[in-house]
Amino acid sequence: MSRIGALTRAARGSATQTLAKGSKSLHPPLAPADFKRALTINDRYGGLTVNVPKMPFWLTGGEALVYRRTSHGEQQFMQVDAATGFKRPAFDQARLAAALNKVSHESYQAGNLPFDRFELSEDGRRLDFQIEDTRWSCDLASYDCTSTTFDARKGDPRELSHRYTPPAENNPDKSNASPDGKWIAYIKNCNVFLRSEDGLQDVPLSRDGAEGNCYVFSTLSWSPDSRHLAAYLVRPGYRREVRYLNSSTDQLEREYSTIFYPRPGDVLPLPQPVLFDIAGPRQIVIDDALFSNVFELSALRWWADSRGFTFEYNQRGHQLYRLVEVDAATGHGRSLIDETSETFVDYLPLGHGQEDAGKIFRFDVDDGKEIIWASERDGYEHLYLFNGRTGALENQITRGEWVVRRVNHVDPVKRQIWFEASGMNPQEDPYWVHAYRIGFDGKGLTALTPEPANHHIEFSPDRRYYVDLWSRIDLPPRMALYRASDNAKLQQIETADISELVAAGWQPPLSFHSKGRDGKTDIWGVLHLPANFDPTKKYPVVENIYAGPHGSFVPKSFSRWTEPLTQLGFVVAQIDGMGTNNRSRAFHDVAWKNLKDAGFPDRILWHKAAAAQYPWYDISNVGIFGASAGGQSAVSALLFHPDFYKVAVAKNGCYDNRIDKTWWNELWMGWPVGIEYSQSSAVDNAHRLQGKLMIAVGEMDDNVDPFCSFQLADRLIKAGKDFDMVYVPGANHHTLGTYTERKLLDFFVRNILGQTPPDWNTKPIELE
């Protein structure tokens, strides 16, 4: 805050003098060199940091941790022996890159290998890693590499509902052996069969499978005692497809492709758990009364004593999430834990990403005698201890007006939990994550990361050590190794150096917060300041928006990333308004059936508060841009808040939630599809457009159907509205490229600064 205060005092002290001179020339003409700097600034800054570590991971065994650090634009894998502290390069990256290029016919660079994690064999002689859908294994003596391809969709039980329907199976060569080795289960003609170990017996377990209702091999699950087998029988849903035409090819012919793309309201695949008694053999019917309206069923998980199995039921509409137990002897099901909500249950796994976080977590203690469960039932994300036999709540483990963000480790012997949380320290940014330890009984809460910053810890597999990586937007990363038993610091592994970056003109964003629409809740954001910032001048404001309810998005950790618009004299703001994640439940619920809100009432108040505090913050002609859900919000700014937002650029946006993917939209907008979808639709509200709008869309976007963008364009045309549109051949959701970035810069320069951008055709700017 001291830096903000200093800027404020400087600005206020000079504002009167500036205005007294009557100067109106606040935006000197931009030159082509300014645009070149804007388009290349991040490439230039990328080579000016030293020893910046990325997220660490531990090798199997727990004796060594690995991380990737960046120095002068080159990335290097480093390995640290936890016991001795010895640090060295993990392997010869130049030899590995050469070996990969030889067999893959690619051109990988040693300083930018295309994977983030790897595994070493126990003898340390083989390196295994994954590049897209290919698994690689390389001998570290000869650097000979071999590869195998795989289907990343297979084996994911969540794929059995809304995302993917397995084809009818008829492959007896794919088999699943019982734990005692006496039987082999396989699928033939969509039914479950058993083959004896000696191959003399071949027994059909089911007869109800058919191409329209097929057993799925990847779900076959044996009880530990080999007496029972469970599986999912899946009835396919409606197979909606999106067809693509790629006009950016190396041939003289266009290319066509198709993807499976269910939408909100579509009939979904219906998985049904089925139980088989091997001794009979017989099929035991499981009543589906507890899970009759399926959006998603999790993997089947057997208790170690084989008394039954469990699965998690996500009801369509996302207002009920239930832990179901099925008794192996009777097939009787019962609910152990019910998580309910009048709005939505955020069913993504807790700690899904460092910024994106769902709310579901489960840990079975002593074969299910107790269950640790995450819930927002008191208004904040916390941990609870349930009796796994009766389903009764034993006690709430964590409590308070703060949120659990991640569970790092559960120690059932010491009955302790290591977890990460944010918002516990009132004097700090409520999004900063810290690490803690607490007992199952809710006692002994211990803070482990005292530094005021955003932290992330990773435990070694044997739980003897953990590494803490922390930074702030104004402080480069630090990484240290600790002993878990007493939290003693063993080694400072890395301290990033950004002196060259700062000397080149880089400056961190400014943190700012103000009260939201309720007059009580703090709304947090950052300001990216213009190049050569002078607090005696005024600067136009453009907001970079992303308001997806699945996470919070304002940066909290260090990044050298510089908003290109700042190089052209703009202040760029980022704000987490109400409706985003990682605060209270009430804060989050604003998004329900109301994605058009996007936190705009909070964002506008935030901008006005910033303008009141900083005389250089000019909100007379505010711009806004965003991509994907941010694209939807950018358009909504002009449709629903044209009195404040005047210029918008929307990239690959989801402008009508009925057109986009099922899971994301039904989670926040509800099911069945109701009038709220139309109320939040930019397509249905296109006639409201005021201000200046540019739409950019990638031809091959397989995340958000490009149809969304064309539907919006069609309605704008029919409503007689004027707008710009950029269509990028061959581009997908994340690759709109430098051309689109240049068009974005041009659009804001023309419509906010009132200046004419360079003539790119007559005098092209070399960006290399």
Task: Write out 600-618 in H/E/C secondary structure.
Answer: HHHHHHHHHHHHHHCCCEE
Virtual CA dihedral for 178, 179, 181, 185, nearest 10 degrees? Answer: 10
535 and 609 belong to one structural domain = yes
Q: Please count the other Cβ atoms lying within 10 Å of the Cβ belonging to residue 545.
A: 29
Report the pLDDT value the prediction gives residue 28, as an integer from 0 to 100: 86
CATH code (residue 188): 2.140.10.30
448 and 412 belong to one structural domain = yes
Strand partners, 370: 365, 387
Distance of CA 267 to the CA centre of its chain: 26
Cα separation of 611 and 219, whole Å?
Answer: 57
Cα separation of 101 and 84, whole Å?
Answer: 35
Report the pLDDT value the prediction gives residue 124, as an integer from 0 to 100: 87
425 within domain boundaries: yes
pLDDT at residue 291 above 50? yes
Residue 416 · residue 437 · CB < 8 Å = yes
pLDDT at residue 59 above 60? yes
Q: At which residue do the structure tokens 């035409």 appear?
A: 245
State mean pLDDT over 703-722.
Answer: 98
Q: Please count the other Cβ atoms lying within 10 Å of the Cβ belonging to residue 182.
A: 14
Task: Report the percentage of the chain scoring pLDDT > 90.
Answer: 88
Report the pLDDT value the prediction gives residue 3, as an integer from 0 to 100: 46
Q: Please count the other Cβ atoms lying within 10 Å of the Cβ belonging to residue 144.
A: 12
Among the residue ranges 5-9, 328-332, 413-417, the one predicted with the least confidence is 5-9
Per-residue pLDDT tens over the stretch 207-262: 999 988 999 999 999 999 999 999 999 999 999 999 999 999 888 888 999 999 99
Cα–Cα separations (whole angstroms), residue 654 to 111, 291, 585, 675, 732? 36, 31, 25, 17, 14
Report the pLDDT value the prediction gives residue 162, as an integer from 0 to 100: 55
742 within domain boundaries: yes
The token pair at 218 is: 């990847």
pTM of the predicted model, to two decimals? 0.93
Report the pLDDT value the prediction gives residue 250, as an integer from 0 to 100: 85
386 and 529 belong to one structural domain = no
SS3 251: coil
pLDDT at residue 609 above 70? yes
Residue 653 · residue 627 · CB < 8 Å = yes
713 and 587 belong to one structural domain = yes
185 and 329 belong to one structural domain = yes
Report the pLDDT value the prediction gives residue 352, as an integer from 0 to 100: 55
Using pLDDT thresholds of 50, 70 and 90, give the confidence band for residue 27. Answer: confident
Cα separation of 702 and 443, whole Å?
Answer: 48
Cα separation of 704 and 727, whole Å?
Answer: 14
State mean pLDDT over 645-660.
Answer: 98
Tell me the DSSP string of 197-208.
TTS--EEE--S-
Strand partners, 696: 651, 726
Closest CA to 438 of 448, 424, 451, 426: 448
State mean pLDDT over 127-155.
Answer: 85
105 and 213 belong to one structural domain = no
Per-residue pLDDT tens over the stretch 461-495: 999 999 999 999 999 999 999 999 999 999 999 99
Report the pLDDT value the prediction gives residue 10, as an integer from 0 to 100: 37
26 within domain boundaries: no
Is the four-CA dihedral 340, 345, 349, 355 of positive or negative sign? negative
| Residue where a domain stops, chosen among 438, 464, 497 | 497
Report the pLDDT value the prediction gives residue 6, as an integer from 0 to 100: 42
Produce one character per residue of 145-160: b if its CB has 16 or more CB atoms within 10 Å, e if not: beeeeeeeeeeebbbb
Closest CA to 476 of 501, 495, 458: 495
Q: Please count the other Cβ atoms lying within 10 Å of the Cβ belonging to residue 668.
A: 23
| Residue where a domain stops, chosen among 320, 340, 360 | 340
346 within domain boundaries: no
Average pLDDT over the chain, rounded to whole? 92
CA atoms within a 13 Å half-sphere pointing along the CA-CB vector of 570: 31
35 within domain boundaries: yes
Look at phi and psi of residue 221 and say left if phi exceeds 0, alpha if psi is from -120 to 50, else beta.
beta
The token pair at 434 is: 């810290």
548 and 656 belong to one structural domain = yes
143 and 159 belong to one structural domain = no
435 and 566 belong to one structural domain = no
SS3 399: coil
Report the pLDDT value the prediction gives residue 170, as an integer from 0 to 100: 67
Cα separation of 313 and 600, whole Å?
Answer: 34
The token pair at 638 is: 């002009």
Report the pLDDT value the prediction gives residue 53, as an integer from 0 to 100: 97
Report the pLDDT value the prediction gives residue 9, as an integer from 0 to 100: 37
761 within domain boundaries: no
Closest CA to 550 of 601, 595, 511: 595
Q: At which residue do the structure tokens 């009195």 appear?
A: 643
Report the pLDDT value the prediction gives residue 160, as an integer from 0 to 100: 52
24 within domain boundaries: no
State mean pLDDT over 602-609.
Answer: 98
Report the pLDDT value the prediction gives residue 260, as an integer from 0 to 100: 93
Cα separation of 13 and 102, whole Å?
Answer: 64
Report the pLDDT value the prediction gives residue 173, as an integer from 0 to 100: 75
Task: Using CB atoms within 10 Å of the CB of residue 245, give its burial: 0 to 12 exposed, 13 to 18 middle, 19+ buried.
Answer: exposed
Domain that holds residue 95: 57-149
Using pLDDT thresholds of 50, 70 and 90, give the confidence band for residue 11. Answer: very low
Using pLDDT thresholds of 50, 70 and 90, give the confidence band for residue 157. Answer: very low
Residue 619 · residue 663 · CB < 8 Å = no
667 and 623 belong to one structural domain = yes
Residue 333 · residue 287 · CB < 8 Å = yes
pLDDT at residue 454 above 50? yes
Cα–Cα separations (whole angstroms), residue 302 to 16, 223, 284, 327? 73, 6, 16, 10
| Residue where a domain stops, chosen among 125, 149, 173 | 149
Strand partners, 625: 544, 649
Cα separation of 63 and 84, whole Å?
Answer: 10
Produce one character per residue of 310-343: b if its CB has 16 or more CB atoms within 10 Å, e if not: bbbbbbbbbebbbbbbbebeebebeebbebebeb
Closest CA to 30 of 617, 753, 626, 710: 753
Q: At which residue do the structure tokens 């807790």 appear?
A: 350
Strand bridging mode 241-246 / 228-235: unpaired
78 and 99 belong to one structural domain = yes
Q: How many domains does the chain have?
A: 4
The token pair at 736 is: 């709109």
State mean pLDDT over 753-757.
Answer: 96
CATH code (residue 399): 2.120.10.30
688 and 706 belong to one structural domain = yes
Residue 473 · residue 561 · CB < 8 Å = no
Using pLDDT thresholds of 50, 70 and 90, give the confidence band for residue 167. Answer: low
CA atoms within a 13 Å half-sphere pointing along the CA-CB vector of 702: 10
What is the Cα Rg of the chain in Å? 28
Residue 653 · residue 631 · CB < 8 Å = yes
CATH code (residue 604): 3.40.50.1820
8 within domain boundaries: yes
Residue 387 · residue 394 · CB < 8 Å = yes
Strand bridging mode 475-483 / 488-495: antiparallel
